Amino acid sequence: MSKPILVIKFGTASITLPSGEPDVTIISEVARQVSLLHPRYRIIIVSSGAVGAGKAYINDYKGTMTQRKAAASVGNPLLVGLYASYFAPNGIFIAQSLCERQHFANRNKFLQLKNTFEELWQNNIIPIVNENDVVSDRELKFSDNDELATLLAVGFGAETLMFCTSVGGLLDEDGKIIGNVSNVNEVFKFVRTDKSFLGLGGMASKLTFAKLATRMGIKVFIFGMKQEDELLKALEGKAGTEMSPEKSTLSARNRWLGSGGLVSGRLQVDEGASKALLKRKSLLAVGVTEVTGDFEAGEIIEIYSPEQEMIAVARARETSCAIKVNLKTLNFEVAHANDIVLL
């Protein structure tokens, strides 16, 4: 039986110094603790920190989009080189993988990515993943790699997803770590708005993607690296915050679809359509009340209830323009039941 898949995401603030340079003490600990887990799991490391590692090499750095891209292009090899040097004494080689969201929007591209990772694992190599910031046309938000890690975990059918943060877990109103969470919706009230010295997001991002992951049957941990063996202890439920997974029987294809991939638009539906979707029915245009975004047939869209809750994702059978024109047309199918994943 194949070893389970474990995805571990390290945020910028958790592996860098206040200056932005990589914290070699933390990275060495990451390598040591992950090496101990390596015999039991197929591991993916998603690591932020490239911009912070490279910004010192950009003259008069002010953090513009172009400067961030340049800093990332310098910082990525520096960061990967550090990981390689600290994993090497443990007899483990690593590989770099720079991903873009488009790699998740097309299932064939996604399967190529998955096949590459399978080959790496068969050779006992751990992939180190980062978003391809150099060519990304979106802002380099701190939540980007939270999303990337979740897309990988959901699409690959991971057993466990771990988010490393500078605060060590989800904190309650008294600043104490909440050990166990059974319903992610109930803990959004604890999200704080203060930002880390380098990150551009924080706990709200992690909870948003933890909600998706747990719905897809993945156990989620939020932990830190400041205490001894904290990664190992978190995986045993002895540190950080553990979020329980819901039961999921989705196929591999529907897990990929349910991850959202590259969402191109959204539909809001009425009460009747919402109930029909819950009964595994196709979505018809007469049940759509609002169309947002410009998308083509075959692209991934989100579906929202009248209460503004996302209830499903789907592969659109028609373009956004065609749907708008046919909102009153009977039996005009917007998304087939086989291409809809309830959340």
pLDDT tens, residue by residue, 23-39:
999 999 999 999 999 99
- Residue 266 gets the label, from left (phi > 0), alpha (psi -120 to 50) or beta, of beta
* Closest by Cα among 317, 336, 266, 270 to 294: 266
Q: Indicate the residue type of 4.
A: P
Q: What are residue 242's DSSP bridge partners?
A: 180, 221
pLDDT value of position 171: 85
What are the chain's domains? Answer: 5-252 (3.40.1160.10), 262-342 (2.30.130.10)
Question: What averages of pLDDT result for each successive group of 10 residues across the chain (343 residues)?
Answer: 90 85 93 96 94 89 89 91 96 91 73 92 95 60 69 89 90 84 75 48 75 86 93 94 79 64 80 91 93 84 86 87 92 90 77
* Closest by Cα among 48, 39, 217 to 121: 39
What are the CA-CA distances from residue 199 to residues 27, 54, 209 (Å)?
18, 15, 17
Neighbours of 75 (CB within 10 A): 26
Phi, psi (rounded to 5 degrees) for 20: 100, -15
pLDDT tens, residue by residue, 261-287:
567 788 999 999 999 998 989 999 999
pLDDT value of position 197: 37
Q: Residue 203's Cα: distance from chain center in Å?
A: 13
pLDDT value of position 29: 96
pLDDT value of position 110: 81
